[in-house]
Amino acid sequence: MRKSIQAVQAPVLEDALAGYLDYLATQRRMSAHTLRASEIDLRKLHELKAGRSLEALKMADIRRFAARLHMQGLEPRSLARVLSTWRGLYRWHVRQGRLAHNPVLDVRPPRGAKRLPKALSVEQTGALLDAPVEGLLEIRDHAIFELFYSSGLRLAELSGLDVSGMYSVQGDEVIVFGKRSKTRSVPVGEAARRALRAWLAVRPQLAAAGEAALFVSQRGTRLSDAMIRVRLGRWAKTKGLPVHVHPHMLRHSFATHMLQSSGDLRAVQELLGHADIRTTQVYTHLDFQHLAKVYDAAHPRARKKT
C-alpha cells in the first residue's frame, strides 16, 4: 500500500494544484490523511485534463472525466469525494481571482446505494468491554475501547489525547481536537473513567520519559492509529465477537445507542461533533431498524404463522 501511494505522489504537481494543497494544509489545517486523499483526487484531474489549463475545462469535460472514473470502477461515494475536491479547487481559484468560473459546480455523481454504518448491539458491546483484562497492554487497550464507546470519539481524536493539557481527559469530560480544527468537550462515563484510572496507574511502566501521549506503545511513544485498529480487531476476535470491529464501529455504536435511549438527535449531533445534522440523521435509520426488529418480535400480528 505504501509503495502505491509513493508511486502516485512521485510526479510534481503543477502550481495551480500544488497551491491549493498548500492552502488546505496551512489555512484549513486538514489532517495528513485528508491531505493525502485530496492529493490523489487532484492527480486524477491532472491526468484527465492531459495538459490543458484549469481555465480551459468546461462542465462537459468534468462530466466526461467523472463518467470515465465511474467506468473504471470508482464507486459513487468515492466519485462524490473526488468531485468535491475538484469543486473546492476551482472555488479557491475563483475566490483568488485567478479563474472566472467553476465548471464542477453543478456536476453530481451517480446515486449509489445508501450504506448504513454498522453498529454493535448493546449485548455485543457488553461482551466486548466486560471481558476479563489480563496484562499491561490489555489494561491500556481496555481503557482505549471504553473511551471510544463512552464518548463516541473519532480515531484521530482519541490517539491525539495527552495525559494533561488542552486535549486530555479532565475529570468527567474529555476535550478533543476534532475535524475542521474544532475543539469540543464530551462527557466520559464511569466505566471509562475506571478503565482510565487503571491504565494511568500502570502507564509509567511503558511511557518514555517526557512522553505527553495518554496512550503509548511498547516503545514508550504515542500509539499510532494503525496499531489501535489492529489491537481492537484482535481484541474483538479473541473475545469471541462474530464480526470485525474497528474504531469507527464503536463511534457508530455510541451514536446508535444514545439515540435509541434519548431520541434527542440534536444532542447526539453535538456529542459527535457533526457540523451538519444531516450527517447525524443516518442514525435515525439504524434506530428504525432496531424498532422494526422489536416490533417484529413483539407484535402478535407481525409474526408469520407457523
Catalytic positions, please?
Answer: 154, 179, 248, 251, 274, 283
The number of beta carbons lying within 10 Å of the beta carbon of residue 7 is: 9
Q: Which residue has the cell 434527542?
A: 264
Q: Which residues of 155-175 are buried (b: 16+ CB within 10 A; e: fewer)?
A: bbbbbbbbeeeebebeeeebb
State how far the Cα of 277 lies from the Cα of 274, in Å rounded to an integer. Answer: 7
State how far the Cα of 14 lies from the Cα of 46, in Å rounded to an integer. Answer: 8
Q: Are 69 and 43 in contact (CB under 8 A)?
A: no
State how far the Cα of 93 lies from the Cα of 82, in Å rounded to an integer. Answer: 17
Q: Which residue has the cell 431498524?
A: 289
